[in-house]
Amino acid sequence: MKILLGVGGGIAAFKAAALASLLVQRGHELRVAMSRDAEAFVGRKTFEGLTGRVAIVSATQIDPDGTAPHITATRWAEVYVIAPATADLCARLAHGVADDAVSLAAVAFRGRRVLCPAMNDAMWNDAFVQRNVATLRAAGFLVLGPVEGRLAEGYAAIGRMVEPETIADCITGAR
Ligand SMILES: Cc1cc2nc3c(=O)[nH]c(=O)nc-3n(C[C@H](O)[C@H](O)[C@H](O)COP(=O)(O)O)c2cc1C
């Protein structure tokens, strides 16, 4: 499959690298879009090395071949998975904001969109976050997780991103 992976600026971004690696190992073609803050957590070179493709890191990027990747990558991809989706990203997506590579691709992409939220439990339980995620569900996003498990803060609660293996299985129809 041709997969576009959107990476948000949360602690689980390192798991997006594991997801990218897994998808490539399974024979899928992958391109990565990174939100404005994603690079505070994982560098673009990690994704470029894993995918063999230039990462999309801004809403105004032009690729070396002169094309705008928010159009070429969204036409190319069969599925768009956003993992991790931060609270901030969920808010932007729910309002059609298109000011970074991940949200712009979400607006431009017309196929199956999969959202994997990951955040602290207090954030996940916030009324605005819940409303934004409900809006995204209603707009056709398949929302995977979050699940209960150990959070970065050191305790177990809801908010953990679904494991890369589960995401890979779900988006590629494996198992
Ligand atoms: C160490 C650290 C970890 C963070 N982890 C998360 C997280 O898991 N989920 C989340 O929604 N925000 C998290 N944040 C806050 C986001 O980084 C912040 O809202 C950021 O603007 C989101 O970037 P994005 O909109 O580009 O995804 C974290 C912040 C810090 C400093």
Ligand 1 pocket check for 97: Cβ under 6 Å? no
- Longest Cα separation, the chain: 47
What's the confidence (pLDDT) of residue 173? 84
Ligand 1 pocket check for 126: Cβ under 6 Å? no
Model confidence pLDDT, tens digit, residues 94-142: 999 999 999 999 999 999 999 999 999 999 999 999 999 999 999 999 9
How many angstroms separate the alpha carbon of residue 174 from the centre of ligand 1?
30
CA distance 133 to 77: 23
Ligand 1 pocket check for 35: Cβ under 6 Å? yes
Cα separations in angstroms, 54 against 14, 44, 63, 111, 154: 18, 8, 8, 22, 35
- Written as tens digits, the pLDDT of the chain (175 aa) is 999 999 999 999 999 999 999 999 999 999 999 999 999 999 999 999 999 999 999 999 999 999 999 999 999 999 999 999 999 999 999 999 999 999 999 999 999 999 999 999 999 999 999 999 999 999 999 999 999 999 999 999 999 999 999 999 999 886 4
Ligand 1 pocket check for 168: Cβ under 6 Å? no
What's the confidence (pLDDT) of residue 29? 98
Helices in the chain by DSSP H: which ranges? 13-25, 44-51, 69-76, 87-94, 101-108, 121-124, 127-138, 164-172
How many angstroms separate the alpha carbon of residue 135 from the centre of ligand 1?
20
Using CA positions, which residue lies closest to atom 9 of ligand 1?
Answer: 119
What's the confidence (pLDDT) of residue 174? 62
Closest atom of ligand 1 to CA, residue 12 = 8
Ligand 1 pocket check for 10: Cβ under 6 Å? yes
φ, ψ of residue 43 in degrees (nearest 5): -75, 150
**In the block, residue with structure tokens 């996940």:** 124
Residue ranges of domains in the chain, CATH in brackets: 2-172 (3.40.50.1950)
pTM across the whole model: 0.97
What's the confidence (pLDDT) of residue 175? 43
